[in-house]
A and B are shown apart, each in its own frame.
Chain A
Amino acid sequence: MTTAWVHAEVPQTGADAAAFELLAAARAAADVVEVVAFGPGSSAAAEALGAHGARRVYACDEASMASARAGALILERLIQEHRPDLVLFPTSYAGRDLAARLQARTGSTLMSNATAVSGPDRARTEILGGTRIVDVRLEGPTPRLVLLKPRSAEPEPVADGGVADVVPVAADVPADLREPRVLTRQVEAGSGPSLDDARVVVAGGRGLGSPQGFEILAALADAIEGAAVGASRAAVDAGWMPYASQIGQTGKTVKPDVYIAVGISGALQHLVGMKGSRRVIAVNKDADAPMMRLADLGVVGDLAQFVPALTQEIRRRTGS
């Protein structure tokens, strides 16, 4: 019998798709699946996590446990006690930090950027901008640690789910553990639907030339119900769009029904974040841009003229 643990991040709104994806991936890799969740709301998520196949939730509801140093200490202790074969983490800011600290403590191997896990010692990743698929065997001390990329598995409730058993975990960490203190938080409120679950993503790059360029893109997104606006890193680094809208290796991974890339060349680091899209439409003045070669439909020309014309055509057809 093999056991996989999922480190679930439970946001204030309750366990969400990110945790369910990990649970689906864990079920494909091991016989028994359990969850470790730290921070407020962890115990309360037992029902939702159980419905997605978790038998047990090791939960610590203390807010202080959300920190990577404290989390790694407690997680190491739980691992020594229960000896899982595999621990899956989300590729998120906190997930990376926690897994990175844990590998130093347990001396067990940590695989980053995994796209699938086929057993307690086998995982898959994609390299070179997703052009090559690599199967990796994980060795050394157990448990093996894997950071799974978002959108690598489909959430899937189980028929015989039920509520997961909650095993309360004490937040027993040294008081003198030095940690950064948060002074202020800024939320960059993106308007419209979130990139993560938008059916259509309209993404812009350096080709838009300025923040005003993104206004014509926003107008296009506005004409398509449920469309969200994303950006390449070039556009984010230029300060035209917030980081939260970056798509690619260091940003978000999206898999919409339709991805419309406007003024984006299609660098490997961008493609890894969007190549799972069902259909790709590209607008670029350069017919040879890599994005054009990948697109189902590529439109060659000046975006400043074409995009407003397209928006108008959509409005005409939908009568909006």
Chain B
Amino acid sequence: MNVVVFVKWVPEPEGTPTLGPEHRLVRAGVEGALDPGDEYGVEAALEITETQGGEVTVISMGPDEALPAVRRALAMGAHRGVLVTDERLAGADALVTARVLAAAVSGRPADLLLAAVESTDGYTGTVPVTVAEFLDLPAVTFATRLSFSDGELRARRQTPAGSEDVACSLPALVTLTAGANEPRYPSLKGIMAAKSKSLERPTADDLGLDAQSLVATQTVEAVQDAPVRGGGEILPAGEDAARRVVDLLAEARVI
């Protein structure tokens, strides 16, 4: 089975990202990494191809800085990488991103497409399903578990009320939640092997996308600080603190 995984490089996944000119997240010259949420997709793809054969292709859109994210996925064991880089894509919104990713998949053998439910920095939570619609594919979102039976995909997905088990014919797109598996660490051997793996670097033109389809249709007009709350009182635990908490509950008329 051939699996495509969408992986994103995110600036400072653990820290507080910086806003630059035009109110965009600063992506140039900052520390970044493969989005931790995308490691679950890479791991799931590796487990599938290890048991069923086939190849894992990781596809990403981002600046040159994003290269380490693709390399990390290759070091984990993915077979080939694609990083779409184009100056005109700085500030791409979810629609443009989905167009680019869909174009990057086209023409590749792909039985299964994997992505995270949402990215750590943008968290629109819509890019993968928009890609699925562009490619005319069914989608299983919020999957916590994946398996295969009779050539069909089986998944458990989160629902507002609990969970449901679904079946879906292939090809299909699946978004995985965090915690769906235990992503492996790249081994030293994996890191060495990654250096000689195929890594394509297409531009938007190479993917056959016209200039109009790259124009983002959301513009940030203003950014302001939200009112900060807090400046409250801090007390050591004890009888007095318990009394004060109860006073506050009484003030709020909830007891």
A binding-site residues for B, Cβ under 8 Å: 68-69, 72, 92-93, 96-97, 99-101, 103-105, 107-113, 122, 126, 128, 130-140, 147, 178-188, 199-200, 224-227, 233, 237, 242-244, 249-250, 257-258, 268, 275, 278-281, 283, 287, 292-302, 305-306, 309-310, 312-314, 317-318
Contact = CB atoms under 8 A, between A and B. Distances in A.
16 contacts: A97-B129, A99-B126, A101-B132, A103-B130, A104-B133, A112-B124, A178-B172, A180-B138, A224-B255, A250-B117, A258-B252, A279-B248, A297-B233, A299-B237, A313-B243, A314-B249
A19 B33 CA distance: 39
Contacts of A302: 237
B234 interface: yes
Contact residues on B (Cβ < 8 Å of other chain), bracket: 35 or more
B84 to A, nearest CB: 18
Nearest to B102: A104
Nearest to A275: B229
Residue among B95, B123, B137 having the largest count of chain A Cβ atoms under 10 Å: B95
A40 to B, nearest CB: 16
Contact of A132 (B118, B224, B233): B224
A188 B158 CA distance: 11
B185 interface: no
Given A133-B224, A310-B245, A185 B164 contact: yes
A298 B232 contact: yes
A100 B133 CA distance: 8
B151 interface: no
Contacts of A317: 246, 250, 255
A257 B251 CA distance: 11
A139 B249 contact: no
B140 A299 contact: no
Interface string B130-155: 11111001111110000000000011
B205 interface: no
B217 interface: yes
A243 B235 CA distance: 32
Given A139-B218, A313-B246, A279 B252 contact: yes
Contacts of A92: 160
Given A96-B125, A101-B130, A109-B218, A126 B94 contact: no
A128 B225 CA distance: 10
A104 B165 contact: no
B112 interface: no
Given A187-B162, A250-B117, A137 B221 contact: yes
B211 interface: no
Count chain A CB atoms within 10 A of each CB in B19, B98, B125, B239 and give the residue with the most. B125
Given A101-B129, A181-B166, A318 B255 contact: yes
B236 A300 contact: yes
B133 A101 contact: yes
B163 interface: yes
Contacts of B125: 96, 100, 112
Nearest to A276: B229
A41 B180 CA distance: 35
B179 interface: yes
Contact of A296 (B17, B133, B166, B248): B248
Contact of B166 (A180, A224, A287): A180
Given A110-B94, A292-B234, A306 B130 contact: no
A316 to B, nearest CB: 9
Given A132-B224, A305-B237, A295 B230 contact: yes
B220 A136 contact: yes
Max count, chain B CB within 10 A of own CB: residue among A92, A93, A97, A293: A97
A299 B221 CA distance: 40
A66 to B, nearest CB: 12
* 7 shortest interchain CB distances as A-B pairs: A301-B237, A140-B217, A100-B129, A104-B133, A188-B162, A109-B217, A100-B126
Nearest to B217: A140
Contact of A244 (B162, B222, B225): B162
